Structure 1
Amino acid sequence: MNCSDDDLQLLVVGLDAGCLPILEPLFESGETPTLRRLFDIGASGPLESQIPPWTASAWPSLYTGKNPGKHGVFDFLSFDGYDWDVVNSTHVRERAIWELLSDHGLSSVVVNVPVTHPPREFDGALIPGLTAPEDPDCHPEGILEEIEANCGGYRVYPQAGPEPYRSIEGYERTIELRGKAFRYLLERFAPEFGFVQFQLTDSVFHERPGDKKAIEAVYRAVDREVAATIEAFDPENLLVVSDHGMGKVRGREFRVNEFLRDRGYLAAQSGGEGMPTWSRAYQNDLLEGDDAGDHEPGALERAIEVAAAFGITTQRVASALDLVGLKEPIGRRVPNDVIRAGSEQVDFPESTAYVRSKSELGVRINLEGREPNGQVSEDEYEAFRSELIEELSAVRTPEGDPMFDAVEPRERYFEGQEVERAPDVVTVPAAFDNAIVAELTGERFGDPVEPWNHKRMGVVAAAGTDVDESASLSGATIFDVAPTICALFDVPVDEAMDGEELPIVAPSERRQYPAYDPEPITATDDAGVEDRLSDLGYL
């Protein structure tokens, strides 16, 4: 690649949850002419995601080129004993591609990529994305204030604006500000590498599932920003990538913890002690509204605790209210912690196995010597894990279909120094038309709460002067993106990366780099971040 001092040599556009089943109808209807042109002139195809195909783990895999067993992020949450925290960049234990490029004298501008807060040092600029607070630390220090002054504001999440909650106007304004900030930084820093990610192409499906008008508005807004960036900076090469796909969930929701309780592996209790660090972001079927969690513990909470002791849980109340059309209006007046007080929860210290988080797609074993109150000895571990795998593999939906495509030990999907952070058993729902959840509701199966959710296949497209636009991209995986970026810059590929260069570019030299020395892990501990993840259904 021939680089001049002021040329944008590679532009990467990240479409969270972008996939061909979503994009092709938009192409046909003329909603996204810029993206369609890129796909038409360049090489394109499906991009297989990882397990689990969820944002917080998949984007670090894409931008490091390494599986979660190496980079250490398996979910939106990280666990320490029975406590949890939302992941941030300090949980990513491998170098990002822009840091590797910086080591080779190349500068980058990175905007809105998930799990990049707090930012780490490199040559260029970074505004973090999902799991960052609304007013995040950026790199270099002071750049966010500069952007806000020159671009008319900035927001990580659409709720930070004046527009109505979950409104199309809020989505469009957030995307517009994202594009303006990115172009401002491209002008300000003149990098060789630019990477902008659009999260709302995923969020709109969680917040307004199946809303064609909202989905089209989000993609139109993204297309406008991509077009404006290409027109202003004329990048030599362009990659469109996604972390996973999106589609309807037509199967069943499996409450794995109910199954484990029925098998005698899981203990439950009411009153809120099951999650030692549970926050008011806890999602529940009764709650809507920003101020519902603000309260002092009082008579209502104590009353619900008493009711729970007699088996009158909020899950049962919700079902009854829904039948008579009162669930939503009453729910708006019930504080989150009150809901928690009447909900059955997993008693983690007293259980032998449990699901901590649905989006890590796995079961954790309460192992002696690893967890504070471990119930399974090291000598029993492998036999118990095999027993769990056998029992879960045999689960059938009420229609008699297999619940899972695979139930495997974690080593089947993860390899590296961080494997111990992974769930012990990995469960892969059948075609991702089924879903798992962690809640205790009294029933093993139900209809999916989320009618749209993640799929395994994302998308990739490549065009440009250094790209073989006739190449076939069949078999491309999320781990191939970072090696491909290295090759486009003639930078040696880290031999520890798990992917290969896509055939759009000639293979690059492989090199063993010095071991990465990340900063110590720090807590996120931000109620606003937790609230946002709860809004999206991840907590």
Structure 2
Amino acid sequence: MGDNGSLRTLLIGIDAACLPVLKPQFKQNRLPHLQRLLSGASGSLESQIPPWTASAWPSLYTGTNPGKHGVFDFLSFDGYEWNVVNGTHVRRRTLWEYLDRCGYRSVVVNVPVTHPPRPFDGALIPGYTAPEAPKCHPPEILSDVEEAIGGYQLYGDVESAKDCIRMRGDAFRYLAERFEPDFGFVQFQWTDTICHKKPGDWAALERIYGAVDEQIGELLDACEPQNVFVVSDHGIGPYEGRSFLVNEYLREHGFVQTTNGGTGMPSWAGVRDAQLKHGTEATQFDSSFIERLTASTAKMGLTSQRIESILSVIGLDDLVLRHVPMRAISTATEQVDFPRSMAYMRSRTELGVRINLEGREPDGIVPESEYESVRSALIECLEQAETPAGKPVFESVVRRGQYFKGPEANRAVDILTIPTDFDQFLSTRLGAGQFDAPEEPWNHKRAGLIAARGAVVDETVPLNNAHLFDVAPSVLATFDVPADVEMDGQTLPIVESAGERKYPLFDPDARRKTHNETIEDRLKDLGYLE
């Protein structure tokens, strides 16, 4: 690590990085820079609940649980309506805002849920959940970066992934040279994305990690940081279990009621998106006739989920999806009927169930006086869920207060449902049974990783039991900046603690809606929305 550079601490975020993914590549000497960094103080980093990008990165860079910072999922709910989360949903100070208060300048590149950015001393280019041409800080900085490095792309596709990774490094180096920051934070998202787009494809995964490792080497050479942290928000790996259809299970136990009328919660996105991937906008069929036909069959219990299941057996599902209009599919599909349901899973990545509470939800039917008794009954019911092999679906089913503590906790699910070993894929869909084929062969695991080296890092101290919440206070300690007493993590023993202090109350801007269908489509493509 450099001794004289202005960059005191560099935080490198690698989405979904974990030791089971890295170790096989280390054995083949594919990632020399990462391997060198992990030869210092390193170990597993326990993620939070839920261990998904949109909620976990704000937990990492605020040092607080979602009950305090307010982001629980990729989506935020207002009644039954939803919106993709953005930076205005983060209700706590970030690492760079704490450092700004203490006179330190920062450069932040590609960190999720930072759009639109709040002002501070330095520069920020947002990451995941931002639009492709995001608002940056300062406002003109993106055009400067694009001119300096020959363009900048936030997302891209598999073919352009390595270019996107290079752009992260180029952008950070340009901004570091221009702003001379004390703190730097650059995040690489494609290490997660490739596992969703090409699950189990080790050749593709190795190409992505190789590109990231190359950029890390160039960052270290160009910026000479005095201290370096490498962190991930969660791990990833194969899922051996099946998809558990939570709403179907709740329907069979009397908590969920369904409708085919098109006013409930859609559960037909998977069928719809399969059609969209074929590029079908119009067909040779009479749409109104098809819709009347599917609506009629739905009344007899033959919904599009069941139709799809039957067609797949005889090999005609692909043909039909090419020609059946989207509206016909939605007409024939069963949906959660909110006005008649006591509870439901609204988003699978929330990892939980919401109670349809009277006075809180627009069509709530559970009286407040019965809230706890209904919640207890739901917990008991969900605890009894078993896989076809007779094993528990959930390792724990608990009230939200066990994981979410703070003024935002009442925005979370009422009950958290944590899959056993994170080996069971949860789904909001309705279907012919409680279990279905796994929707993705790879998905998130709770064990990520952390590594640190540098001038103030004691690399001889073991990194055991490190938690996602510990990253923020530990990074602040490298600047001798006290952690906030409101943080849920502790300074890791590899750096000397700067203590704690009570900071002035943080007053965030009002929440804003995202209003961007492209972002929603991207989340659907990666399996985060059903």
State whether residues 281 and 336 of structure 1, in contact with CA within 8 Å, keep that contact through their aligned partners in structure 2.
no
Q: Find the counterpart in structure 2 of residue 7 from structure 1.
A: 6
| Residue of structure 2 equivalent to 1:162 | none
Change (3 A) 1:81 1:31: same
Amino acid at match of 1:534: K
Q: What's the counterpart of residue 36 of structure 1?
A: 35
The offset of 1:372, in angstroms, is 1.4
2:178 to 183, 188, 192: 188
* Cα distance in 1, alignment partners of residues 235 and 399 from structure 2: 24
Cα 1:135/1:309, change in 2 over 3 Å: farther
Question: Which residue type is aligned with residue 44 of structure 1?
Answer: S
Cα distance between partner residues in 1 of 2:151 and 2:198 = 25
1:314 paired residue among 300, 304, 310:
304
1:177 matched to 2:167? The reply is: yes
Match of 1:516 in 2: 506
Find the residue that maps to 1:37 and give its secondary structure. helix
1:280–1:336: 8 Å Cα contact kept in structure 2? no
User: 1:19-78: CA deviations, max 9, x gaps?
Assistant: 0001111111222111011112x1000000011111111111001000000011111111
Equivalent of 2:435 in 437, 445, 456: 445
Q: 1:153 to 1:287 in 2, by over 3 A?
A: same
Counterpart of 1:139 in structure 2 is 137
Structure 1 match to 2:226: 236
Question: Matched residues in 2 for 1:518 and 1:260: separation?
Answer: 38
Residue of structure 2 aligned with 1:408, choices 379, 383, 398: 398
Task: Quote the residue 1:92 is aligned against.
Answer: 90
SS in 2 for 1:273: coil
Q: CA deviation at 1:320?
A: 3.0
Contact kept, 8 Å, 2:87 with 2:113, in 1: the verdict is: yes
- Asked whether the equivalents of residues 239 and 460 of structure 1 are also in contact (C-alpha less than 8 Å), the reply is yes
1:189-219 Cα offsets, whole Å, 9 max, x none, are: 1111111111111111111111111111110
Q: Residue 73 of structure 2 contacts residue 349 of structure 2 at CA under 8 Å; is this kept in 1? A: yes
* CA 231–391 in structure 1, closer or farther in 2 if over 3 Å, else same: same
Q: How far apart, CA to CA, are the structure 1 residues paired with 2:454 and 2:424?
A: 39
Is 1:57 aligned with 2:45? no
Structure 1 residue aligned with 2:524: 534
* Structure-2 change in CA distance of 1:387 and 1:439 (3 Å): same
Structure 1 position 297, deviation (Å): 7.4
Matched, 1:20 2:22: no
SS in 2 for 1:454: strand
3-state DSSP class of the match of 1:112? strand
Q: 1:454 to 1:284 in 2, by over 3 A?
A: farther
Of 274, 277, 286, the residue aligned with 2:274 is: 286
Matches of 2:175 and 2:281, distance apart in 1: 38
Separation in 2, partners of 1:144, 1:305: 49
Contact persistence 1:108–1:191 (CA under 8 A): yes
What residue in structure 2 maps to residue 487 of structure 1? 477
Partner of 1:106: 104
Structure 1 residue 336, shift from structure 2 partner = 4.5
- SS of equivalent residue, structure 1 residue 489: coil
Q: Distance in 1 between matches of 2:281 and 2:348?
A: 23
* C-alpha contact 1:393 1:404 (8 A) present in aligned 2: yes
Write the letter of the residue equivalent to 1:431.
Answer: D
Root-mean-square deviation over aligned CA pairs: 2.2
Pair 478,336 (structure 1): closer, same or farther in 2 beyond 3 Å: farther
- Cα deviation 1:363-393 (Å, max 9, x = unaligned): 0001111111111111101111011111111
In the aligned structure 2, how far is the partner of 1:345 from the partner of 1:55? 27
| 1:150 maps onto 2:143 in alignment | no
Q: Name 1:163's counterpart in structure 2.
A: none
Give deviations 1:489-535, integer Å, cap 9, x for gaps. Answer: 11111010000011110111210011110000010121000000000
Task: Tell me the equivalent position of 2:245.
Answer: 255
What is the deviation of 1:306? 3.6
**SS of residue in 1 equivalent to 2:444:** strand
Q: Equivalent of 1:76, from 74, 97, 106? A: 74
Does the 8 Å contact 2:234/2:446 carry over to 1? yes
Question: Which letter maps to 2:150?
Answer: G
SS across alignment from 2:229: strand
| 8 Å Cα contact 1:281-1:527 kept in structure 2 | no
Q: CA deviation at 1:316?
A: 2.2
Shift of 1:332: 4.6
How many Å separate the matches in 1 of 2:211 and 2:325? Answer: 36
Corresponding residue to 1:391 among 357, 364, 381: 381
Cα offset for 1:259?
A: 1.1
Identity within the alignment, %: 54
1:430 partner letter: T
Matches within 5 A, 1:161-172: 167=158, 169-172=159-162
Relative distance call for 1:134 and 1:384 in structure 2 (3 A) is: same
- Compute the TM-score of the two structures, normalised by the length of structure 2: 0.95
Matched AA of 2:25:
L
Alignment of 1:48 with 2:66, yes or no, is: no
Aligned mates of 2:66, 2:271 — CA distance in 1 = 26
Contact 1:58 1:243 in 2 (8 A): yes
Relative distance call for 1:488 and 1:283 in structure 2 (3 A) is: farther
The separation in 1 between residues aligned to 2:278 and 2:92, in whole angstroms, is: 36
Aligned counterpart, 2:347: 357
> CA offsets, 1:443-500, max 9 Å, x none?
1112311111111100000011111111111100000000001101111110100000
C-alpha separation between the residues in 2 aligned to 1:212 and 1:240? 22
Distance 1:273 1:282, change over 3 A: farther
**Alignment-mate amino acid for residue 127 of structure 2:** G
Q: Give the secondary-structure state (helix, strand or coil) at the position aligned to 2:312.
A: helix
Aligned pairs, number: 527
Question: What is the CA distance between 1:287 and its match in structure 2?
Answer: 2.9
Mapped contact 1:281–1:530 kept (Cα < 8 A): no
2:267 and 2:430 in contact (8 A); partners too = no
**Any conservation in 1 of the 2:268–2:429 contact (CA below 8 Å)?**
no
Name stretches of at least 5 consecutive residues in structure 2 with no aligned partner.
none
SS at match of 2:466: coil
How far, CA to CA, are the matches of 1:336 and 1:244 in structure 2? 35
2: distance between equivalents of 1:102 and 1:208? 40
Q: What SS is found at the alignment partner of 2:116? A: coil
* Alpha-carbon separation, structure 1, partners of 2:160 and 2:271: 22
- Contact persistence 2:57–2:233 (CA under 8 A): yes
TM-score computed with the length of structure 1 as normaliser: 0.93
* Distance in 2 between residues matched to 1:519 and 1:291, nearest whole Å: 40
Structure 2 CA distance for aligned equivalents of residues 8 and 317 of structure 1: 59
CA distance in 2, matches of 1:174, 1:185: 16
Query: Which residue is 1:265 aligned to?
Result: 255
| Equivalent residues in 2 for 1:411-430, closer than 5 Å | 411-430=401-420
**Secondary structure, in 3 states, of the residue corresponding to 1:186?**
helix
